[in-house]
Amino acid sequence: MSTSIVLAILVTSLATFSSRLLGAISSERIKETSKLFRYFNCLAYSTLAALIARTIIFPVGVLSDASYLSRASVVLFCLFIFFISKRNFVYPTVLSAIMMALLTNYL
Amino acid sequence: MINREFFLKGFKSILAPDSPALALGCCFIAIGALLKNLGFSIQESIFSTMLTYALPGSLVMAESLLVGASLLNIFLAVWFVNARLYPMAVSLFPLMMHESQPRWKYYFSCHFIAVSAWLIMKSKYKDIDKKYRIDFWIGVGCATWTTAVIGTFIGFYASDYLDKNMMMGLAILNPIYFLCMMVGAMKTIQIGASVVLGLLLGPIFYFLSPEWSILLGGLVGGTIAYLIGELNVN
């Protein structure tokens, strides 16, 4: 293994694990019925939603080559499928991959 | 030690029809293929997934290596993207804390904090006796972590057979799955407002600062949602 890649992996894992460990240590004194817990619950959901929106609208990696139109079409279509399938997670997930592959191929 | 019954119950939870295993596995297939294209060996790719186990962080590391960023830059870029794991941990671990359980279980299992495992635990914790929730969580975490490692392995060796369109299809799976799960979790005013505000503010803050957009979107959106919920209760 080349040294630079191994160091980059170690640095990445350190940056990731520090947030996790700090969260685990901080939560020792927080009760699940407290206002602070409810506040962090809101922060967690909101941060995840922000991450998902950013992943779809401003992606990094291979998804950045897909057009805005194809990404928006896939998201709207999959949400539509999610609601008409009585909130089933599997159908929209599987369809999203097929639809994205087809759209990028033909658009 | 770890209660085997609850560990296995957690481990098997990813076999449920609505589990994130499929989406998670497909995304790590894309990561495995990406890492191979960047020049990683199979050992380095597996090592990366095992130690990092966070999709956005792995992507940021890969992009940073591609542009020749320094280790400090990689650390800061990954830390900004993965700082979301802090509120996720704080909003999950109090649900699993029990005085009879040793602390090492919590410190060890915090490595499994990731969107997929977090969402599974959030939806199932009420069905598990509080004393054994940590064992159930370790089972869920081990299962999702194993799925990620297997996905990376498959992606690394399948990369020669995956064209760009297929890679895009694999890459969109995870955000769509998580988006559906988040929309499905909008059962209270606070959670609903948190998700909607996060979805709106994340991209808006991106124009101000790409690095801080997730944290700022989450902080501002979550704070407003919390206040809306508290005012509504009062």
Closest-CA residue in chain A for B114?
Answer: A20
For residue A19, what pLDDT is reported?
Answer: 92
Q: Note whether A44 and A16 are same-domain residues.
A: no
Which residue did the predictor score with more confidence, B195 or B233? Answer: B195
Coil, strand or helix: which one is A58? coil
CA distance A68 to chain B (A): 13
Q: Give B 44-83 residues with CB within 8 A of chain A.
A: 44, 47-48, 51-54, 56-65, 71, 74-76, 78-79, 81-83
Distance between CA B8 and CA B136 in Å, rounded? 7
Share of chain A above pLDDT 70, in %: 96
User: In a 10 Å sphere around its CB, with 0-12 CB exposed, 13-18 middle and 19+ buried, how is residue A73 labelled?
Assistant: middle
* Residues of A whose CB is below 8 A from B23: 93
pLDDT at B173 over 90: no
Distance between CA A6 and CA B46 in Å, rounded? 11
* Residues of B whose CB is below 8 A from A27: 89-90, 92-94, 97
The pairs formed by B161-166 with CB atoms below 8 angstroms and a separation of 24 or more are B162/B29, B162/B33, B164/A62, B164/A65, B164/A104, B165/A100, B165/A101, B165/A102, B165/A104, B165/A105, B166/A101
For residue B190, what pLDDT is reported?
Answer: 92
Say if B178 falls within a structural domain.
Answer: no
Residue in B110, B210, B18, B182 with CA at minimum distance from that of residue A16 = B110
pLDDT at B78 over 80: yes
Q: Note whether A89 and A54 are same-domain residues.
A: no
| B2 interfaces chain A, CB cutoff of 8 Å | no
Which residue did the predictor score with more confidence, A21 or B15? Answer: A21
Q: Note whether B87 and B133 are same-domain residues.
A: yes
Residue in B147, B121, B163 with CA at minimum distance from that of residue B53 = B147
Number of domains in chain A: 3
Number of domains in chain B: 2
pLDDT at B183 over 70: yes
Q: Which of B14-18, B26-30, B154-158 has the lowest mean pLDDT?
A: B14-18
Q: Between chains, do A65 and B168 touch, taking CB under 8 Å as contact?
A: yes
pLDDT at A107 over 80: no
* Residues of B whose CB is below 8 A from A5: 39-40, 44, 65
For residue B11, what pLDDT is reported?
Answer: 94
Domain of residue B199 covers 186-234
For residue B156, what pLDDT is reported?
Answer: 94
**Identity of residue A57:** I
Q: Note whether B126 and B219 are same-domain residues.
A: no
| A85 interfaces chain B, CB cutoff of 8 Å | no
pLDDT at B66 over 80: no
For residue B37, what pLDDT is reported?
Answer: 83
What is the pLDDT of chain A when averaged over all its residues? 89
Q: Note whether B127 and B204 are same-domain residues.
A: no
Q: Note whether B69 and B164 are same-domain residues.
A: yes
Q: pLDDT-based confidence at B70, cuts 50/70/90?
A: confident
The predicted model gives B166-177 an average pLDDT of 85
Q: Note whether B159 and B207 are same-domain residues.
A: no
Q: pLDDT-based confidence at B151, cuts 50/70/90?
A: very high
Q: pLDDT-based confidence at B228, cuts 50/70/90?
A: very high
Q: Note whether A89 and A107 are same-domain residues.
A: yes
Domain of residue A26 covers 1-30
For residue B111, what pLDDT is reported?
Answer: 95
Q: Are B155 and B28 in contact (CB under 8 A)?
A: yes
Q: For B13-55, give the DSSP string.
A: GGGSTT-THHHHHHHHHHHHHHHHHTT--HHHHHHHHHHH--H
Q: pLDDT-based confidence at A3, cuts 50/70/90?
A: low
Write the ipTM.
0.87
For residue A59, what pLDDT is reported?
Answer: 86
Q: pLDDT-based confidence at A73, cuts 50/70/90?
A: very high
Q: Between chains, do B75 and A57 touch, taking CB under 8 Å as contact?
A: no
CA distance B5 to chain A (A): 24
pLDDT at A72 over 90: yes
Q: Between chains, do A44 and B64 touch, taking CB under 8 Å as contact?
A: no
Q: Which of A12-16, A55-59, A66-70, B21-25 has the lowest mean pLDDT?
A: B21-25
The predicted model gives A41-50 an average pLDDT of 91
Distance between CA A98 and CA B170 in Å, rounded? 9
For residue B98, give Cα distances in angstroms to A57, A92, B42, B82, B233.
Answer: 41, 38, 40, 27, 28
